[in-house]
């Protein structure tokens, strides 16, 4: 079960405070991710180690590309159409915004389902409050933001879909929750149902942060605070555990020319940070991933 896998630190990518949302762009040979408190999207060309970053007025938590290479993002106050300019200064145009039930909230984890709808969840940024007012939203291909699809979340995370799109995964990484749920997912309407516990991390080390699904349909979750990647079969059985140099892995994504490289973003804690915390790591997980779906809608010109 425990795999001795070497994780390479990508020094050229720089060090983040809260690295999140790695996205592989095959046509560019580049990995993108965000540094949330720094309000930045970062891009690293893997072959040349060339790094680019774009700064924004609001924190960027999650994003996805459309087929034209434009970006839809979940930020502090809503869903935005983001433009990555050559001048390294990003532009953002708000497309939709939920009615936040509390102050100090923002979007957190998000990605597209297999049909190209963009999903993102909200949270109260002060995790010490343990406010269960977060919710998961669907931003569809027509540019419409749904009402809360799943509510009562403290720290929404772990969003992913099975290879056939028929199962949706969602986690709550707050220390009081530490749960991953599975849902039956109606691919025609984009509606999850039959919520059940898929993995309870009270039985394992860490908290279930960002996640990815591989070509075998297994669910990889970043065990935050435990410096681990955990792989669960579709039946919810832990079948692989990989130790990482950083204590707080935050999200993972498959990339590389064959989608066999697993990239992992990490968080640099405010105290007792090691030299590895905050960097992106790359490792050969021994399995192949799936291409990240593009957003299916037509984003307006910013």
> Is 178 marked as a binding-site residue?
no
Residue found under tokens 């599975």: 182
* CA atoms in the 13 A half-sphere facing the CB of 97: 11
Show the tokens assigned to 242: 């990989």
> Is 2 marked as a binding-site residue?
no
Residue whose C-alpha is closest to residue 74's, from 94, 55, 90: 94
> Is 88 marked as a binding-site residue?
no
What one-character DSSP code corresponds to residue 130?
A: -
Spatial contact of 89 and 55, defined as CB atoms under 8 Å apart:
yes
> Is 126 marked as a binding-site residue?
yes
Its sign, for the CA torsion 104, 206, 200, 216, is positive
The catalytic residue positions are 209
| Cα 26 from Cα 200, distance rounded (Å) | 34
In order, the DSSP letters of 258-283 are: TS-EEEEEEB--SSS--SSTT--EEE
Helix, strand and coil content of the chain, in percent to the nearest 5, comes to 5, 50, 45
> Is 224 marked as a binding-site residue?
no
Q: For residues 226-244, b (16+ Cβ closer than 10 Å) or e, as one string?
A: bbbbbbbeeeeeeebbbeb
> Is 35 marked as a binding-site residue?
no
| Cα 280 from Cα 20, distance rounded (Å) | 9
| Binding site members for a divalent metal cation | 20, 157, 209
Binding-site residues for substrate, in ranges, read 106, 108, 126
- Residues of the binding site: 20, 106, 108, 126, 157, 209
């Amino acid at each position: 079960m425990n795999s001795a896998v070497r994780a390479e630190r990508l020094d050229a990518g720089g060090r983040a405070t809260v690295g999140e949302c790695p996205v592989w762009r095959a046509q560019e040979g580049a990995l993108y991710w965000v540094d949330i408190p720094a309000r930045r999207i970062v891009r690293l060309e893997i072959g040349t180690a060339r790094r680019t970053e774009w700064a924004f007025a609001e924190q960027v938590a999650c994003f996805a590309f459309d087929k034209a290479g434009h970006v839809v993002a979940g930020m502090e106050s809503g869903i935005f159409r983001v433009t990555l300019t050559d001048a390294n200064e990003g532009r953002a145009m708000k497309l939709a915004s939920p009615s936040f039930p509390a102050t100090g909230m923002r979007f957190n984890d998000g990605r597209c389902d297999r049909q190209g709808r963009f999903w993102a969840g909200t949270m109260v940024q002060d995790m010490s409050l343990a406010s269960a007012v977060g919710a998961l939203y669907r931003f569809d291909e027509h540019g419409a933001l749904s009402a809360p699809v799943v509510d009562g979340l403290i720290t929404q995370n772990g969003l992913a879909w099975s290879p056939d799109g028929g199962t949706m995964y969602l986690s709550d990484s707050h220390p009081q929750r530490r749960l991953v749920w599975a849902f039956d997912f109606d691919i025609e309407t984009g509606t999850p149902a039959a919520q059940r516990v898929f993995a309870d991390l009270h039985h394992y080390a860490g908290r279930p942060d960002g996640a990815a699904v591989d070509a075998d349909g297994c669910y990889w979750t970043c065990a935050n605070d435990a410096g681990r990647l955990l792989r669960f079969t579709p039946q919810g059985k832990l079948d692989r555990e990989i130790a990482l140099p950083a204590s707080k892995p935050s999200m993972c994504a498959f990339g590389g020319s064959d989608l066999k490289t697993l990239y992992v973003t990490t968080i640099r804690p405010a105290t007792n940070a090691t030299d590895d915390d905050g960097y992106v790591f790359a490792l050969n997980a021994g399995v192949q991933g799936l291409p990240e779906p593009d957003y299916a809608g037509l984003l307006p010109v910013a």
